[in-house]
Structure formats: structure tokens, C-alpha cells
Structure 1
Amino acid sequence: MPYLYINIRSAVAAVTVAAALITSSCKKFIEIPPNPTTLAPSQIFADSANATAAITGIYISMIGTSSPALSIGNDGMGMWTGMAADEFDATGAGFAKEFVNNNISITNTFNGSGLWANAYKFIYQSNAVMEGVAASSGISAAMKNRLIGEAEFLRAYFHFALINVYSGVPLCIVSDYKVTSKLPRADTGAVYRQIVADLEDAYQRLQHDPLTLTKVRVNRYAVKALLARVYLYRKQWTLAEAAATEVIGGNYGLVTNLDSAFLVNNREAIWQVPSTAPGWETVVANNIIPQYGGNVPTSIVAPHLLNAFETGDKRRTQWIATTSTGLYTYPYKFKLVNNSAVTVSNPKEAHTPLRLGEMYLIRAEARLKQGIAGAAEDVNRIRNRAGLGNTTAASDDDIMKAIMQERRVELFGEWGHRFFDLKRTGTIDAVLGAEKTTWRSAAALFPIPYNETQLNPNLTPNP
């Protein structure tokens, strides 16, 4: 169902039902009443226990339950934009191959449901939480700040993803479907202003939050990390550097072993979204890695990415695997699949939308653009962790190339970084035009789903 026609009661009930799954996996999450689907919105937000269940339910909805499919909430975006760029190929035909061939149909399910509809579902739920919590008289001021701050972050996070996939998109900041069903595409500047406003307000609300910092629920460092990314994309170099520096100065550190970078609660992780479905630690691994004796992964690493690694780069050997037949190489950042020994109370890997490695590369680029020292040193931290020597780059142009090279091999397959980097630096046509015979400039924007443009006359399509 298109996001425009979800009513508030069903949305709130959905996040509350999903929140019930958390109680068996994390003691910090609060139990919800036994019959959540019978609660009206006023009851959902009557007290902090129910309101907390509503916000944590969004996190669980991001992953999905019981054999979840790839979506924008569990890094399907990283896979599909990686195919649209030059990171991955699909071994099968169908909707996935449309991304590889840069000819995405307006009825593509991965694009329409996995990206667009899911993003707006999470935005809608975030709006419902903000409105319900703000109107509640049974929640303390401190708890209101915590819950509204989390919801603002999530709303900003998904608007940011949408605008970088589709360009101007409907700016959805209320839960009233009578309003959202007719929203036109907003100017990109307006969407970015709302994203920054949401994040800056969220940071103020969470700056002195008494809740123990976790990797699962968004905290002030996660907010600042996303702000660093947004400022970088907006070319606000001073702000990007300051935000990244604040996160780097937090209680984080680069893990020594690359295989630990995506483990639950590792020191490098800033924000993680672990699965609550037994055996489905990450949706990415379960959708890619060959299982049950098979030797054909669904997604393979494109030659352009394979050739980008330097000799001796541990990321090539530890984050990419080869099938036993030797015919296919595939992404292997996540390694655990359908493991019956894994229970919902003991996940071992987690989707990681924000991690420290990106912060060093953001700060390196921001420092370089400001003409101040330290860019090469930040690049070297990432290179050295991967088993490589210091960069030999000396000129500004060469250091910039070194930064983009490290972003390419460090962040591949994660949350759309490569595709977005090519777009934000204005190099996408030159790079992909030289690499792919299927590339055309219009493919830099994914199509607005057909059913959305049919239901909303104010929603104009992309080229």
C-alpha cells in the first residue's frame, strides 16, 4: 500500500506490534501491553512505556521480521545503488538486473516498495511518535526529549536517503494522510533545511540525555555523525569537520580486525540496527551468500570494484569472498547466515548505518577543502587499519583522489555511499559513462514509483 494512505491508527499499531519483538532481545526495551492492536493512539502515548515501545518498534520495522526482504531500512539501498553504480552485478534477471543496466522500470518492486514506500512508512511512523508524545500529559519532559529526538533523527535519516536517490521528494512532516496524500515534490533545498533542523533539534534534545548510551537507540553522537554527513554533502566544510571531530572524540575507536567492524556493539559502531529474527542476523548476508550447498550468490562484485583494491589491502581479502567453484566473488562484510544457533537474545552481527571509519574520511575531506592540516593523517588511519602504508599523495588534487579512493574501498556496499559520492562530486557521468555501456545521465535519479504518481496528481515523475 502506498505510504500516502496509511492511517495513523494502523501505523501506531504496527510499530507497537513490532516493538514486542524487542523485549526478548534487549532488556533495556520496555515491555508493552498484551493486546497492542486494540490500543487507540491516545492510549499508545499515554505513558513512557507505550511511547518507548512505539519508537523502538520503528527500529524493528527497519529490519523486518521472519525472513525479511532487503529494504531501505536494512541496507537494500546499498545493494541496489551499488548495482546502479559500479560496485555490484546481479546473477539473475528481473528487477535487480534493471539496476545494473541503469534501466529501472517505474513498476520495479525493489524501488517502489523496498525504497520509496518503506522510507515513507518510517517517516510516517516517526511523525506519529512526535505528535503523540508531544500531546501526551503522561510522559516526563526528559522522556519527551529522548523520544522526540529519536523520531526527528529517523525522519531526517530517511528524508536524506530519499533526496539522494530521487532528488526533490515530498517533505512529509505530519501524519495527516489528508495532507500527505497530496504533497508535491519539495525543492531539494527545503528538504535539506528540514533535515538539518530536525538533526540540530534532536542533538539539543539528546545532548544531556540520561539514558545509557547504546549502539541500538540513537544518541547524540549518532545525530552528530549524520549531521557530519549532511554538512559534507552540503559543502559546509567547517561544520562537517567540527561534527566529525566531536564523534571521533567520543567513546569510539577503529577496530583492529576488519571482521569485527560489523559485530554487535563493536567499538567502531555508532548506530546499529540488529535483527530480532532468529537466523537472520543481517538481511544483506542472507540475501547474498550462497546457502544450502549452492554456489551462485545473488549479487557479485563488479570488476571495477575488484580492480580498485591495492595489493595487500585486507579489505579485499576479508570483505570479499569467492565461491568454492572460483567462479564468483561476492560482498562478504556480513558473514553469518541462517545460523540456527543464533537466538533473538544473542545476535552477533548487525546492520551498521553509521560507523567511525566514515567520520575520519568526512573529516579528511572537510579539512582538505578548508585548506587546513590533517587530511592525509585521517586517510592514513583508514589505510593503516587495512594493512596499507601511508598515502603518497601530496597535492590537494592527489589527496582528494586518495580520500575518494578510500571511501570507495572502505564503504563499498554500505548505504549508497559510492552512488551518492559520484553524484555529489559531479563525476557520475564521467566515471560510469566510461565504465558502463548502459549508463545515461537520467539514471542518476531513480524513477518515482508508478502507483505513487497515479494516486497523487501533484507528484511529478523523474525523467
Structure 2
Amino acid sequence: MKTKITLFLGLLFISVGCDDKFLEITPKAKYFADNFFASEDQVFQGLVAAYDPLQWSFVDGRWTSTVMLGEIWSDNANAGGDNTNFDQPGWQQIDDLTADPLVGEVLSFWKRGYFGINKANLVINKTELDTELTRQYIAEAKFLRAIYYFDLVRIYGPVPVILEELDPADKNVSRNTLSEVYGQIVKDLREAIPLLPLSYPDAFKGRITRGAAQALLGKAYLYWADLLNDDVQRFDSAAFFLNEVIASGEYELVDDYNQLYDFGAANTSESVFEIQFSNEVPGDFGTPFEFLNGNAMVQLCGIRGLCASHPLYAEGWGFMLPTQSLFDSYLADDQYRRNASIITLFELNLDNCPVSSNQQNPTDYTGMWQKKYANYKAYSTPNGGELNLLKDPNQPYIRYAEVLLMYAEALVRGSGADAEAMTYIDMVRERAAGPGDNTGNFRTASQLMGQEGLSLLEVIWYERRAELAGEGDRWFDLVRSGRAAANNFPSGDLRQANFSERSLYLPAPQVDVDFTEGKLTPYPDPSLFQ
């Protein structure tokens, strides 16, 4: 949240004695924050810097992936790793629901979020040039501030809302209420939407569009409504903005679900907002960690112990292992989505490529691996050496399928019509059955309700888990809807024994708790959830 730099000024003054020539310093930096944002090009450079933390997957020597977090924290995945059961101990603690304020990953997600917020604040607050382009750049920065806060509030609960630069000595930082955090997210996105374009030329894919802001706003309203005891008005607000995305005609479902995460898939017709990654990075691990903009989770979550001769996949490190619970949750007629999301040991055996079982985490190994961020051999690694683990698949943050499901949920939980909601659920279910026209070859939402004994909301919950498996939303869905509980996990799982109300959010990092002298509490007080 703050960058604290110790300059040892006292020692400097002692060493130079009384000679005041040391004060006559020619500044080496040409620009500072107060004079940098003076042209459209400079504002754009500041905006690029604000985008950058979205790509950080290795912060302060810790692997930092919101996808891994939302899956490993939940009943969808185990941490995995090597056969010592102590590989990446911070991720093991997140998996076991025992993470405390000293865990390195607790700090890395916090740092990523507040560094991004600070960079966005600079663009928003320092830009005085008023042109059509700078207004758009400020709108993009407001979206970025909103998305960083959205991730932070999902991970840590109500967090401090900081909209200005802080004095590095200011210790008066504390948590805001839930509604103050979500209120700021909503304000930023509402202000950004009118100034954002519907689309960009292909050369600018990944830039923030109006649809991306409307979709994130709808998602924020959905969470806010859920966490405020099913607030109908906010569900209706979510429905309004999600419908704007649908009505724009800018997005459509990819016909074949299996191709959403195929090698080379990026910025598809279904991508509403997608975090861009690149394997073109400098040097080696001596480079400051935040500059490593490759998507490290591909190597992290690849198949550990895989034979070198596999025709499609390279070996990985075996994290984020799908659970039996996730595998079993798919309905019998939903195998196409399951096969596109999970690699099984049986599938690898068909390729006559054995997996070394003695390399696996003995507690977490399930004989299954995630498929959406598969470690394809076809990935190029131009840097070589230590950085050959950095691959460049993008991270879809909001897909059009999720927009359809969120819209259906907002209708059902707000004042909308159930029949309309089923129409959008069925669009997702039809695609899930496989490529081509599946009319008559899939069970509709209505049929699932009758044949499986599910409520319409339970159908939506099923669809979200099946459709978004391995994409990082599972834990946050459980928490916002009040369904996170010990019995999400099987008997004997440490998560069942360790579950408590404190498990719902990561604690604030100890370094900032100490710096604020306890004004920032490790965990949010229940009174803040209003």
C-alpha cells in the first residue's frame, strides 16, 4: 500500500561534515509525478503502468495468481506440488485454511492490488490536460482502480479505500466498510462507462472497453447485493448493466467450449475483459520480480512427473490439482465441459505416457490436472534459462458466458422474470453440449429443475461451477452467497477441520498491521459488513 524507502539521511549528514556543497545536486530524474502527466503521450505511459500489475504473477518472490487463489482456496482444487508436502508452504496454508498475516502470499496479493491502485490514482489525479484522449485514459484508469479494489475486497474483505497519494509516514490507515469499498468501485465504473469505446482495432486488444466496464459493474453489484442480505435493488442494477453488455451485440459465445483455452486462443469473441500476458521479459530471476509479465501459473499448474515424450504437454510443477469433488460435480450429460477442464490420468495413459506417481504431493494427488492453462510444448520460451517457465497465455477475467449467467442470476434474485433467466442459462448449456447446433440434444434449465430436483438458483450455481471451473471464481462465489462451509470439503480434509469465519478472507499482511500500529486490523470486524 505504501512504498517505504529508508535513505539513511542521518549517516549521510555525519559523513559530509559542514560542507554544504553536497546540497547542490543536479537532479538525475527529468520527470516526477507532479510534472509528468503533461501530454497525451505521458498520460498514456502512466496508464500503461497502471495496467501492468494485472500481469504480475510473481511478486516479492511469491507466485501470485488470482485464478490459483480462487480454486485452491475452494473445494475445486488442492494445492499440490512435490512429494515433500511442503512445496510452496504459503499455498499449502491457503489450501488448508491456515494462512496467517505472515504468509508471503498474503502480502503479494495485497501489494499487487495497492501498487495498481496507486498507479491508477496518479493518472486520475495528476492529469490536468483535458482532451478526448486524456478523458478516455482517465476512464481506463478508473476501471483499473475498480478492478484492483474488486479483487482486494473479494480476497481480504473490507479494505482501506485510498484515492490520493499518502504521506509515507501516515499511519492512520484503517479498513472502510463493505459498502464504502463497493460504493467506490461502482462510482469509478459508472463514471468510466460513457467515456470508453465499444471496441478497439486488433492492435489494441486487451484495452478496456465499455462492455468490460459494464460487465465488471454488473458483477460488483451482484456481489454487493449478495453480501447485503440479497438486496433486490442492487440485483436489479446488476441486471441493467449486464443486459447492456448483451444488447451491445459486441460479444458471442465461442461455438466449441473446448477451444476457449486451446493453445494460442486469445481475445476470442467471448472475451469481455482479458488480462494480456507476454513471455518477452528481461534477464532472469535477478530482474525485479514485478517485471516478469509472463503467466507463471502455466508452469506451476502443469503435470508434475509427466514423461518427456508426451506429444502435447510439457512437464509442470503439479499445483492446483482438481479435486474428486469437482470431477464428481459434473452431471452425467456434461462430460464435454468436464473433459475440456480436467486432464485425467486415464487420458494420459491412452497416450502411453506414464506419470511418475512418486513425484506427487501425497496428500493432494488425485490423478487429475487442470486443463485450461495446460503447459503445451508449443509455447515458445525466448528467454531460456530460469525464465523458460514464463508462458504467454492470457487470463480471461470475464467471459460472455459468465455475463449470461450473471444476468440470469440477477433476474432470479432481483425483480426479473424466471422465464427470461432460463433463456440465457440455456444458451450456455447448449454450447456446453459440444460444437454445432445442439437443439434438442441438451437438458434445459427447466428440465434440470424437474429431473434433478434443483431450484432455478441451484441450476445457476451448478452452471457457474461447471462453466467456470479452473478460472478462479469458485471460492468467491461460495463466500458471497453464504455457501462457504466446512461441509464443502470431504471428511478428513484439513479444510473441514480448520474452517471458521476467519477462513472466508485472507488477513491483511502483518507488515502493514504493524506499521499502522493496529489501526489496520488483520481481519475485518463484522461491523464493517454493511
Q: Does TM, scored on the shorter chain, surpass 0.5?
A: yes
- Find out whether 1:128 has 2:118 as its counterpart: no
Contact 1:231–1:237 (8 Å) recurs in 2: yes
Tell me how far 1:102 sits from its aligned partner.
Answer: 0.7
1:180 Cα shift?
6.4
In the TM superposition, residue 215 of structure 1 has moved relative to its aligned partner by: 3.8
Q: Take 1:182 and 1:397, find their aligned partners in 2: how far apart are those partners? A: 49
Number of residue pairs the alignment of both structures matches: 421
TM-score by length of 1: 0.82
Shift of 1:228: 0.8
Equivalent pair of 2:96/2:498 in contact (CA under 8 Å) = yes
Task: Tell me the percent identity.
Answer: 22
Residue in 1 that maps onto 2:93: 98
| Residues 1:97 and 1:223: Cα distance change in structure 2 (over 3 Å) | same
Secondary structure of residue in 1 paired with 2:508: coil
Structure 1 residue 191, shift from structure 2 partner: 1.0
Q: Which protein shows a greater Rg?
A: 2
Residues 301 and 374, structure 2, Cα contact 8 Å, conserved in 1:
no
CA distance in structure 2 between the partners assigned to 1:313 and 1:433 by the alignment: 23
Asked if 1:322 corresponds to 2:376, the answer is no
Equivalent residue number for residue 171 of structure 1: 161
- Structure 1 residue 371 displacement after superposition: 4.5
- Is 2:53–2:113's contact at 8 Å kept on the other side of the alignment? no
The aligned residue for residue 334 of structure 1 is 373
Q: How many Å separate the matches in 1 of 2:147 and 2:56? A: 18
2:239 is paired with a residue of what secondary structure? Answer: helix
Counterpart of 1:400 in structure 2 is 457
Mapped partners of 2:238, 2:424: distance in 1: 14
Cα contact 1:254–1:267 (8 A) shared by 2: yes
State the 1:440 CA deviation. Answer: 2.1
Q: In the alignment, is the contact (CA less than 8 A) between 2:79 and 2:319 conserved in 1?
A: yes
Distance 1:307 1:40 in 2: 56
CA RMSD of aligned residues (A): 3.0
> In the superposition, relative to structure 1, how do residues 407 and 287 fare at CA in structure 2: closer, same or farther (>3 Å)?
same
Secondary structure at 1:376's aligned position in 2?
Answer: helix
Contact kept, 8 Å, 2:279 with 2:392, in 1: the verdict is no
Residue 273 of structure 2: SS of its match in structure 1?
A: strand
Deviation at 1:413, TM superposition (A): 3.0
Moved more, 171-180 or 443-452: 171-180
Q: In 1, Cα distance between the equivalents of 2:326 and 2:516?
A: 39
In the alignment, is the contact (CA less than 8 A) between 2:155 and 2:505 conserved in 1? yes
User: Per the alignment, do residues 382 and 340 of structure 1 end up closer, same or farther by CA in structure 2, a change over 3 Å counting?
Assistant: closer
Aligned partners of 2:238 and 2:245: how far apart in 1?
A: 11
Change (3 A) 1:180 1:350: farther
Conserved? CA contact 1:253–1:267, under 8 Å: yes
Q: Distance in 2 between matches of 1:297 and 1:46?
A: 48
- Alpha-carbon deviation of 1:382? 1.4
The residue aligned with 2:32 is 40
Partner of 1:89: 78
Encode CA deviations 1:299-333: one digit per residue, 9 max, x unaligned: 21111111111224312111211354466211111
Give the direction of change, closer, same or farther, for the CA distance of 1:68–1:271 in structure 2 (3 Å limit).
farther
Q: Please tell me the residue identity of whatever aligns with 1:162.
A: L
Q: Is the 8 A contact 2:341 2:470 kept in 1?
A: no
- The residue matched to 2:272 in structure 1 has which SS? strand
Q: Which amino acid aligns with 2:297?
A: V
Give distance in 2, aligned partners of 1:376 and 1:130.
41
Match 1:240 to one of 238, 241, 248: 238
* C-alpha separation in 2, matches of 1:38 and 1:87: 50
Aligned residue among 278, 281, 299 for 1:286: 299
Contact 2:71 2:320 in 1 (8 A): no
Cα distance in structure 1, aligned partners of 2:325 and 2:153: 26
Superposition deviation, residue 179 in structure 1: 8.0
Counterpart contact for 1:127–1:155, Cα < 8 Å = yes
- 2:277/2:392 contact within 8 Å kept: no
Alpha-carbon offset, residue 441 of structure 1:
2.5
Aligned equivalents of 1:306, 1:338: Cα separation in 2? 25
- 8 Å CA contact retained: 1:215, 1:269: no
Q: Which residue of 2 aligns with 1:420?
A: 476
Deviation at 1:223, TM superposition (A): 0.4
Q: Measure, in 1, the Cα distance between the counterparts of 2:68 and 2:176.
A: 26
Distance 2:194 2:151 in 1: 23
Query: Tell me, what secondary structure is at the counterpart of 2:343?
Result: strand
Matched, 1:308 2:329: yes
Map 1:24-423; keep pairs closer than 5 Å.
Answer: 38-64=30-56, 76-92=65-81, 93=86, 94-113=89-108, 115-133=109-127, 135=128, 137=129, 140-178=130-168, 181-206=171-196, 212=201, 214-235=204-225, 236-250=234-248, 251-262=250-261, 263-278=265-280, 282-290=295-303, 293=308, 294=315, 297-311=318-332, 312-323=334-345, 324=348, 325=354, 328-337=367-376, 339=378, 341=380, 349-369=393-413, 370-372=415-417, 373-387=419-433, 388-391=442-445, 392-394=447-449, 398-415=455-472, 417-423=473-479
Q: Classify the secondary structure of the residue corresponding to 2:318.
A: coil
**Counterpart secondary structure, 1:354:** strand
Given that residues 299 and 317 in structure 2 are in contact (C-alpha distance below 8 angstroms), is that contact kept between their aligned partners in structure 1? no
The question of whether the paired residues in 1 share the 8 Å contact of 2:271 and 2:400 is answered with yes
1:104 & 1:190 partners in 2: Cα distance?
26
Q: Helix, strand or coil: the match of 1:170?
A: coil
Deviations 1:363-401 (A, max 9, x none): 111111225131122111112211143232448961110
- Does the CA contact (< 8 Å) of 1:281 and 1:337 recur in 2? no
Q: Report what 2:20 is aligned to.
A: none
Q: TM-score, normalised by structure 2?
A: 0.72
Structure 2 residues without counterparts, runs of 5 or longer:
6-27, 226-233, 282-292, 309-314, 349-353, 356-365, 384-390, 434-441, 525-530
